[in-house]
Homo-oligomer: A and B are copies of this chain.
Amino acid sequence: MAIEQNIVLLVGGVGGAKLALGLSEILPPEKLTIIVNTADDFWHYGLRICPDLDTVMYTLSGLVDPVNGWGVHQDTTLTLDSLKRYGENPWFRLGDQDLATHLLRTHLLRSGVSLTEIVAQLSRQLGIKHTLLPMTDASVATMVDTIELGEIEFQSYFVQHRWKPTVKSLRIEGIESAKMTDQVKAQIENADAIIIGPSNPWLSIQPILSVPELRDTLLQRNIPRVAVTPIVSGKALKGPAAKIMQELGLAVTPQTVAEFYGEVINGFIYDQRDNLVKLNNVNTLSLDTIMKDRTDKIRLAQQMLDWIGEWT
């Protein structure tokens, strides 16, 4: 496939952002759109925090902390530390540089600007030329039902409780009344291929696919729709995906991931370290999917684009 084709990438946070970076190094700005999960977004001290959007934005702009894969490089937490003077004990790390993003975004949201417009404005100011889109402008929230603590908000599960509680089930509050934005719809309808990043299928991709009409819009597109596994050698590359799969009674394999996506995909990339039983109606390819540095990201992105290009 020539790079003149339009690629739409669906991602969550750190893992997906790596592939986004790889693709952005190859594809010209008008040919790559990144649709980002917002079901992890939450309010903290009156600020609207969008962890996945910020991770992608910081990654593409080069601001990201290269060790964590999220947050701003060499950021400090003077404001957060000062909250302790008031007896507060903030459990979500907000860096001082990072706070500027949350302050401005929250201020604009409260002024009536849509999240889509805000993301466009902020990412443009950071020098990002490719298009970043939140999956929806609506406020939705992944809720995690746990054995130990009952149902809690995602960030409480993920950060405050360090994904230790046992997951019984997940639901996305507010998703029924969320709307697919015109921008998301147009980009999917205009895509020549859809790529689902190596993000958590349950926590990051499922919310995107659950935006009303979004899944159907994808399914109507007779184009390559390819997912990359986030599970390698029985482990998640990052985060709680493997642990949640176990708790939901699923085998921690790329096979499970591919089957979870079902008809949404017609292509699946799994890691060369793993095996895959043949899937019906799904092209498969094994690659080295681990992205440690910039070279890995570009290599994987290029291999994916080359493979998808061969289909057509």
The residue that A104 contacts in the complex, of B72, B88, B122, with Cβ under 8 A, is B88
Residues of B within 8 A of A98 (CB): 82
A125-153 CB mask vs B (1 if < 8 Å, else 0) is 11000000000000000000000000000
| Contact status of A86 and B100, CB under 8 A, knowing A78-B78, A79-B79 | yes
Q: A46 on the interface (CB 8 Å rule)?
A: yes
Is A249 on the interface with B (CB-CB < 8 A)? no
Question: Which listed residue (B82, B83, B86, B100) contacts A82, Cβ 8 A?
Answer: B100
A251, CB-defined interface residue at 8 Å: no
> Closest approach, in angstroms, between the C-beta of A115 and any C-beta of chain B?
15
Contact with B along A231-268 (1 / 0, CB 8 A): 00000000000000000000000000000000000000
Say yes or no: A125-B45 contact (C-beta < 8 A), given A78-B96, A79-B79, A79-B103. no
Report chain B residues within 8 Å CB of A106.
46
Cα–Cα distance between A106 and B87 once the two chains are bound (Å): 16
Contacting B at CB under 8 A, from A40-93, are 45-47, 72, 76, 78-80, 82-83, 85-88
Residues of B within 8 A of A72 (CB): 82
**Which of A76, A99, A110 has the largest count of B CB atoms less than 10 A from its CB?**
A99
A168 to chain B, nearest CB (A): 30
| Total copies of this chain within the assembly | 2
A82 to B122, CA, bound (A): 12
B-side contacts of A97, CB under 8 Å: 78-79, 82
Q: How large is the interface on A (under 10, 10 to 19, 20 to 34, 35 or more residues)?
A: 20 to 34
A107 interface contact, C-beta 8 A: yes
Instruction: Find out whether the CB atom of B125 lies under 8 angstroms from the CB atom of A85.
Output: yes
Residues of B within 8 A of A82 (CB): 72, 96-101
Contact residues of A between 182 and 212, Cβ < 8 Å to B: none
A126 to B87, CA, bound (A): 9
Contact A125 B78 (CB under 8 A): no
Chain B residues whose C-beta falls within 8 Å of the C-beta of A88 in the assembled complex? 104
Q: How far, in whole Å, are A247 and B209 apart by their CA atoms in the complex?
A: 64
Assembled-state Cα–Cα distance A86/B99 (Å): 12
Chain B residue nearest to A46 in the complex (CB) = B107
Extra contacts, 17 of them, besides A46-B110, A82-B99 (Cβ < 8 A), are A46-B46, A46-B106, A78-B97, A79-B79, A79-B99, A80-B100, A82-B96, A82-B98, A82-B101, A83-B104, A85-B125, A86-B100, A86-B101, A86-B121, A86-B125, A96-B96, A99-B99
6 contacts between A and B (CB under 8 A): A47-B103, A82-B97, A82-B100, A83-B103, A86-B104, A87-B125
